[in-house]
Amino acid sequence: MEVIVQPDAQAMCLLAAQFIVELVRRKPHCVLGLATGSTPIPLYNELIRQHCEAGLDFYGVTTFNLDEYYPIAPTHPQSYRRFMNERLFDHVNIRRERTHVPDGLASEVAAECANYEARIKEAGGLDLQVLGVGTNGHIGFNEPGASLCGPTHLAVLTERTIHNNARFFDGAEAVPKLALTMGIGTILASRHCVLLANGKHKRDAIALLVEGPLTAQCPASALQLHPRATVIVEEDAAGKLTRREYYDHVQQMLARPKEGWRNGVKR
């Protein structure tokens, strides 16, 4: 797992955007896994800027979102489909039929989940999955206790998640109690996972996911099993990492590998 600490949330999102920009340029038909929440908003703003000012071309790109509330209409102001349309898709030249968000109104939930998995496979699998993290360590809506290898499924939200997300709704009562979410197995099958977190309220979750034991009680810790997981945080979210010096050292070494290898140790 690579841990990169940036000075602030903007720098964190710009770095995450660089990974995506580089991927889209290198592989114009790439498959992106996307996340909602407040954390990646500056990332999407940067992608829009890159599209408008630097011609970043989304025409061939396919996207799959991590999750969607259930039940919820796609037109609901808090639906993740609407979030993605308003925050990214409406502003770039992606083909709408290539953007996928689980159907929050699916009548056959099991079929919708199986179909979502099938569509990801058909598209060639996820090249890069963007992730946020809940204060309880959830990724997507994989709450503590979720299977660490499961597929897309119907998840029951915890009280804590409902409470955290109540700010976007007219109070906790209005938050859907269920969600359709990629499973951790789906996420781990992605070729590159990029997890972002900012703010002091995320520091416990970040410490647990990076340095804690691999446990379903912190679903994000499953990223420890991933061959290419990049955790990008800012100073506040990094506040409880005990091996910070080492993570910075790794970044220095990777920035100048030949010199680093020759000298052996950090100067």
| 117 binding ligand GLP? (CB under 6 A) | no
**What is the spatial distance between Cα 99 and Cα 77, in angstroms, rounded to a whole number?**
18
**What is the spatial distance between Cα 66 and Cα 166, in angstroms, rounded to a whole number?**
19
Residue nearest ligand GLP by beta-carbon distance? 132
Q: Catalytic one among 46, 51, 67, 142? A: 67
Minimum distance of ligand GLP from residue 165's CB (angstroms): 5
**What is the spatial distance between Cα 166 and Cα 29, in angstroms, rounded to a whole number?**
37
| 79 binding ligand GLP? (CB under 6 A) | no
| 163 binding ligand GLP? (CB under 6 A) | no
| 180 binding ligand GLP? (CB under 6 A) | no
| 38 binding ligand GLP? (CB under 6 A) | yes
Residue of 161, 190, 221, 230 interacting with ligand GLP (CB under 6 A): 161
Is 67 a catalytic site residue?
yes
User: What is the Cβ-side half-sphere exposure of residue 205, based on CA atoms within 13 angstroms?
Assistant: 25
| 134 binding ligand GLP? (CB under 6 A) | yes
Task: Name the one range near ligand GLP by CB under 6 A: 3-11, 34-42, 122-130, 248-256.
Answer: 34-42
Binding site for ligand GLP (CB under 6 A): 35-39, 66-67, 132-134, 140-141, 161, 165
